[in-house]
Amino acid sequence: MSAVVQHKPAPGPNAPPLPAGDAGGTFAFDAGGTTSRAGFAAHVRALAARLPDAAHAVNLCEDRYRFLVAFCAAAVRGQVNLLPPTRTRTAIDEVRARYPDSYCIGDGDACGCDAPLEDPGAHFVHLPADLPALEGVPLRIDEAAVVAIGFTSGSTGAPTANAKTLGSLRISTAQNHAALAGLWVPGAAPHVVATVPPQHMYGVELSVMLPLLTDAAVHRGRPFFPEDIARALRDATGARLLVTTPVHLRALLASGVALPPLAGIVTATAPLPQALAAQAEARYGCEVRETFGSTETCIFASRRTAREEAWTPYPGVRLQPQPDGTLVSAAHLARPVLLADLVEVHGDGRFVLRGRQADLLEIAGKRASLADLTRRLLEVPGVRDGVVFQLDEEVAGVRRIAAAYVSDALDEDAVRAALRRSIDPVFLPRPLRRVPALPRNETGKLPRAALLRLLRSDP
C-alpha cells in the first residue's frame, strides 16, 4: 500500500506536525544508538500504510519505541489506541469485548499478553523485528481527534474508560514540561528513561507524549531491574530524567547500584514516603518530584516530597472540595472531573490530601484512614512492603480490616505487636498475613480483586 488511509477527515495544513522539534534531533535512544525524529516519522508512515481497516487498536507493545510507532500509526489512520490497564489475557479480552471493532497490535512472541489469543491472525498485527521506513509528508493529526482511551487500574473497582484527544494531551504535556523544566539546564533536552509501561496514563504522559510533543527523547525499552535501569540511564546523552514509581525507587536504593548523574527523578502511581524521597535525593544528588493525577484527569499537580507535604497545582488548575471528593477543573479537561480524593486547599492554592471517602473508617466512634494505617504498617522496621484494606463482609455491622505484608524476618505476631504501639486496637487488621510478595501490577498498584484472591489463597 502506497498511501496512508484515514477514517477521519484529514487535519488542516496548519496542524502541528508530529513529532515536534527538529527533524534531525534525537527521538529515541538505547545502547544500539539513536533514532532521529525524521526516522521515527518514516517508521510511522510505513506501519500506518499496512494497518487493517478498523476503528480501534489495542496497543500491547512492550518496547516503548514500538509502542510509540504503533500509537502514532493508528492515530494517523484515524484509529483510537485502546490502552488496557494490564496486558493480561483477561484485561485484553474485556477491552475487545467493549470495542468489537478493534484489533491488537504488539511486539511479543504471540500477542504481548500472558496467554495466547484465540486465532491471533484474525485480529493481531505483529510488528516486524526490522521496522520498514516510508518517506513522505509530515505527520499531522486533528487536534480534536480522540487518539487514546485509557483505562483505570481497577484498584478500587472495575476499570473505567477515559478518552483523550490530541489537543487535551498537548495542553497537559506543555504543563508537565513546564513543571519539570527547572530540573535541567536551559537549552538542554531531557532524555527520559521510564520504568512504567507506556499503556498506563502516567507512562503515556511522560514517556509517550513528552517526546512526541516536546524536544524530549526517550529510551526505547522499559528497564525493570536496578542494573537494567542503570544501564539505560548510561545510554542517555542529554539531561537524564528517570520516570519511575515508589516501588522501583525503593528497589534501586536497596540494590546499591550506582547511577550516572541525573537531572531529576519523577515518581507517581502510589504514595511516596517522605523518608524514601529524602534518601533518594541524598543518594543520587537530584530532586525527586512526585506528581499527582489520575487516568481521568492526567497530571495536574506536583511536589518535592522530601521537603513538602502540600501539592502545588499547575497554573489554571482549580480544586473544589466536595462532600464525596474533589472537583478538578483545568485547561486540558473538557469539563470538571470529580475525584474520590479528599483535599484541604490552602489560601495560596496549594493542597494537602486527606485520604478518600472510601478509605475513611469509623468504628466505635473512632476514625482512621486506610492510607494512614498502611503508612504505619510500612514504618514497621523489617517490613519491605505492605497494604491495609477493607474486606467486603461485615461482622456486627462493621466491615473487617485486613492487611498483607512482606518481610524477610518478621512473623505475624511480631508485626501485630508493632502495630499495637501505633494503632488503636479497634483498627488492628484481622486477618494480618505475611506473604512472599504483594500482587502489584506493572505500575505498582494493587488491584482489589488480586488482594482478595491473595487472602483467600493464604492458609
Better-predicted residue by pLDDT, 231 or 158: 231
Given this model, what pLDDT does residue 425 score? 86
Of 273, 308, 343, the residue that ends a domain is 308
3 state DSSP class of 34: strand
Pairing state between β 161-165 and 146-151: antiparallel
Cα–Cα dist 382/190, whole Å = 37
Structural domains counted in the chain: 2
Residue 363 corresponds to which cell in the numbers above?
Answer: 468504628
Same domain for 126 and 251?
Answer: yes
* Inside any domain, residue 335: no
User: Which residues are paired to 30 by β-bridges?
Assistant: 33
Phi, psi of 258 (to 5 degrees): -85, 135
Place of cell 502511581: 269
Q: Residue 109: pLDDT band by 50, 70, 90 thresholds?
A: low
Percent with pLDDT over 90 in the chain = 68
Q: Residue 280: pLDDT band by 50, 70, 90 thresholds?
A: very high
User: How does pLDDT run across 317-366, given as a tens digit for each residue?
Assistant: 999 999 889 999 999 999 999 998 889 999 999 999 887 766 777 776 66
Given this model, what pLDDT does residue 191 score? 98
Strand order in the sheet with 312-313: 33-36, 26-30, 217-219, 190-194, 239-244, 264-267, 287-292, 301-304, 312-313
Given this model, what pLDDT does residue 106 score? 93
Pairing state between β 102-106 and 124-126: parallel
Residue 174's closest CA among 198, 210, 208, 143?
A: 210
Given this model, what pLDDT does residue 44 score? 98
User: Is 68 within 8 Å of 46 (Cβ atoms)?
Assistant: no
Phi, psi of 259 (to 5 degrees): -110, 150
pLDDT for residue 120 is more than 60: no
Q: Angle 246-456-400 (CA atoms, 0-180°, nearest 5)?
A: 75
Residue 163 corresponds to which cell in the numbers above?
Answer: 478518552
User: How does pLDDT run across 171-207, given as a tens digit for each residue?
Assistant: 999 999 999 999 999 989 999 999 999 999 999 999 9
User: Is 134 within 8 Å of 49 (Cβ atoms)?
Assistant: yes
3 state DSSP class of 325: strand
Given this model, what pLDDT does residue 114 score? 46
Residue 384 belongs to a domain with what CATH number? 3.30.300.30
Compute CA 365 distance to the chain's CA centroid, rounded to the nearest angstrom. 37
User: Is 190 within 8 Å of 175 (Cβ atoms)?
Assistant: no
User: How does pLDDT run across 4-63, given as a tens digit for each residue?
Assistant: 434 455 676 678 999 999 999 999 999 999 999 999 999 999 999 999 999 999 999 999
Cα–Cα dist 125/131, whole Å = 13
* Inside any domain, residue 20: no
pLDDT for residue 99 is more than 50: yes
Calculate the average pLDDT of the chain.
Answer: 89
Residue 200's closest CA among 153, 145, 160?
A: 153
Same domain for 300 and 370?
Answer: no
User: How does pLDDT run across 224-259, given as a tens digit for each residue?
Assistant: 999 999 999 999 999 999 999 998 999 999 999 999
Distances (CA, A) of 422 to 163, 368, 408, 413, 425: 43, 12, 22, 15, 9
* Inside any domain, residue 319: no
pLDDT for residue 116 is more than 90: no
Phi, psi of 203 (to 5 degrees): -65, -40
Q: Would you state the torsion angle of the CA atoms of residues 80, 81, 87, 90, taken in this order, to the nearest 10 degrees?
A: -10
User: How does pLDDT run across 408-426, given as a tens digit for each residue?
Assistant: 999 999 999 999 988 888 8
pLDDT for residue 295 is more than 70: yes
Mean pLDDT of the 283-300 span: 96
Of 308, 324, 347, the residue that ends a domain is 308
Residue 170 belongs to a domain with what CATH number? 3.40.50.12780
Phi, psi of 422 (to 5 degrees): -130, -5
Of 272, 287, 308, the residue that ends a domain is 308
Cα–Cα dist 384/407, whole Å = 6
Given this model, what pLDDT does residue 156 score? 53
Cα–Cα dist 111/87, whole Å = 9
Helical pair 246-255 and 226-235, crossing angle rounded to 10 deg: 100
Poorest-pLDDT segment among 105-109, 185-189, 281-285: 105-109
Same domain for 408 and 272?
Answer: no
Better-predicted residue by pLDDT, 452 or 328: 328
- Which residues neighbour 340 within 8 Å (Cβ) at sequence distance 6 or greater? 156, 324, 325, 356, 357, 358
3 state DSSP class of 403: strand
pLDDT for residue 115 is more than 80: no
Domain region containing 168? 26-308
User: Is 140 within 8 Å of 16 (Cβ atoms)?
Assistant: yes
Q: Distance from first CA to last CA of the chain, Å, rounded?
A: 59
- Kindly report the number of other CB atoms within 10 A of residue 224's CB atom: 12
Cα–Cα dist 191/220, whole Å = 11
Residue 105's closest CA among 132, 90, 87?
A: 87
Same domain for 112 and 206?
Answer: yes
* Inside any domain, residue 115: yes
* Inside any domain, residue 347: no
Given this model, what pLDDT does residue 449 score? 84
* Inside any domain, residue 8: no
User: What radius of gyration, in Å, describes the C-alpha atoms of the chain?
Assistant: 23
Same domain for 387 and 291?
Answer: no
